[in-house]
Amino acid sequence: MTLFLQNARLIDPEAQTETEGNIVIDNGIIAAIGQMSAPAGAEVIDCRGKCLAPGIVDLGVKIGEPGERHKESFRSAGAAAAAGGVTTVIARPDTSPAIDTPETLDFVTRRAADAPVRILHMAALTKGREGREMTEIGFLLDTGAVAFTDTDHVTTSTKVLARAMTYARSLGALIVGHPQEPGLSAGASVTSGKFASLRGLPGVSPLAERMGFDRDMALVEMTGVKYHADQVTSARTLPALERAKKNGLDVTAGISIHHLTLNEFDVGDYRTFFKLTPPLRSEDDRLAMVQAVADGLIDIICSMHTPADEESKRLPFEEAASGAVGLETFLPAALRLYHNGQVTLPQLFRAMALNPANRLGLPQGRLAEGAPADLILFDPDAPFVLDRWKLHSKSKNTPFDGSRLEGKVLATFVAGVQVYSNDN
């Protein structure tokens, strides 16, 4: 089937441009881009001047299968992703049990096959994410793993981590690390400082992130492995990140949309929906991170979608589970940075689509002839008040509940097939 999307505002993250034009989609591939007429027999969709961009590639999504299907299933996560403009989900292995064997990876791959969006999987770096023995990286690669991570279970044994990195380097595998010094951060629920003391909450210094990052960079330099830091949230880490890149290390860094749009004061009334890992930082840190995204020093923005049920969130702040859902709020939250004049739309989609696709070696994330037709049509200026009970995710733990946001996804296309339509 041939689709013709006309009168679109094309957001090109590769060329860093916004232009008016049309797109021809044929057999799930972008066949042509420009000011052409509709091919004979094509289905025509009038974009009415709204933005057409590559679908978001979300690196680091928690899905509750296996073990926690009551929090999020592949079906609910797929529906939430389609509604949020996320066309490729990169799922985390912090399930129960962890995705640490080819058999478990094959199971979740088959379970995800019916989702309306693409779902790819990372596998655990060590068995059970316990940091004692590395997984069968080669077999997991053959089964379809796109990267290896123990998520927020930081491997404390440098010997185990060095061996895993060396083996991953020999296979060309990507390791996703969580920069944090686990001894300092154990038991902490907020960033340390005067505000944390006034609220009586246990805090951790942002330097714990810097210390963990420095250790990982030393091991990356020693092994030559491809490395991605899942979340860099402190300004104190940025000089080390810049130095690592200048020294030629194969290193990229990411950050969650929550750390780009919220700060430590948001936990002021002890709302557990604002309890995240790592904890929300100071406003100075947040602004430094936004600038690092604009400059390209931080490569990737992700939702760090972490569903949690009501029972695990309706607890005292220190005891409540960490994390927030983000698949459906990712784009409107990111558009806050655009509306504030801090980043352009091409810069946003460079970080949300192009860079994560490139880091994982995927053909998605770009507006180019021959690329997969994974696209989102959205109105960046459409205002709305978020009602968490209307989210497609099974869990409703969003910090943006009741917030005024701008930016609605109008349509989502995966391989040229429309998988979501907003008729409101």
Three state DSSP letters for 299-314: CEEECCECCCCHHHHC
Whether the predicted pLDDT of 106 surpasses 70: yes
d(CA 250, CA 306): 27
CA 49, chain centre distance (Å): 28
Looking at the chain, the whole-number percentage of residues with pLDDT higher than 70 is 100
Phi, psi of 311 (to 5 degrees): -65, -35
| Closest alpha carbon to 343 in 257, 230, 232 | 257
Convert 74-108 to b/e letters by CB count within 10 Å (16 or more is b). Answer: bbbbbbbbbbbbbbbbbbbbbbeebbbbbebbeeb
For domain 55-360, the CATH superfamily is Metal-dependent hydrolases (3.20.20.140)
d(CA 151, CA 143): 20
pLDDT of residue 268: 81
What is this structure's pTM? 0.96
pLDDT of residue 423: 75
| Closest alpha carbon to 394 in 77, 60, 59, 62 | 77
CB atoms within 10 A of CB 401: 16
Encode pLDDT of 141-168 as tens digits: 999 999 999 999 999 999 999 999 999 9
Q: What is the mean pLDDT of the chain?
A: 96
CA 115, chain centre distance (Å): 18
Encode pLDDT of 367-376 as tens digits: 999 999 999 9
DSSP structure string for 323-391:
-B--TTTHHHHHHHHHHTTSS-HHHHHIIIIIHHHHHHT-S-S---TTSB--EEEEEEEEEEE--GGG-
Domain 55-360 in the same topology as domain 2-51+373-421? no
* 367: Cα within 13 Å, side-chain hemisphere: 30
Pairing mode, strands 43-46 and 2-12: parallel
Burial class (CB in 10 A: 0-12, 13-18, 19+), 224: middle
Encode pLDDT of 296-341 as tens digits: 999 999 999 999 999 999 999 999 999 999 999 999 999 999 999 9
**Tokens found for residue 211:** 């210390």
pLDDT of residue 424: 63
d(CA 121, CA 123): 6
> Which spans in 26-101 are helix H?
74-84
CATH 1.10.10.10 fits 2-51+373-421, yes or no: no
pLDDT of residue 341: 97
Per-residue pLDDT band at 7 (split at 50, 70, 90): very high
Looking at the chain, the whole-number percentage of residues with pLDDT higher than 90 is 94
Phi, psi of 371 (to 5 degrees): -80, 155
* 196: Cα within 13 Å, side-chain hemisphere: 20
Cα 332–Cα 334–Cα 335 angle in degrees, nearest 5: 65
Question: Among all chains, which residue has been given the structure tokens 């064997």?
Answer: 101
Q: Domains of the chain: which residue ranges? A: 2-51+373-421, 55-360
Encode pLDDT of 346-393 as tens digits: 999 999 999 999 999 999 999 999 999 999 999 999 999 999 999 999
| Closest alpha carbon to 212 in 226, 195, 198, 229 | 229
CB proximity list for 129: less than 8 A, separation 6 or greater: 93, 94, 98, 100, 150, 151, 153
d(CA 291, CA 342): 7
Rounded to a whole number of angstroms, the distance between the first and last alpha carbons of the chain is 26
d(CA 50, CA 407): 11
pLDDT of residue 198: 82
Phi, psi of 162 (to 5 degrees): -65, -40
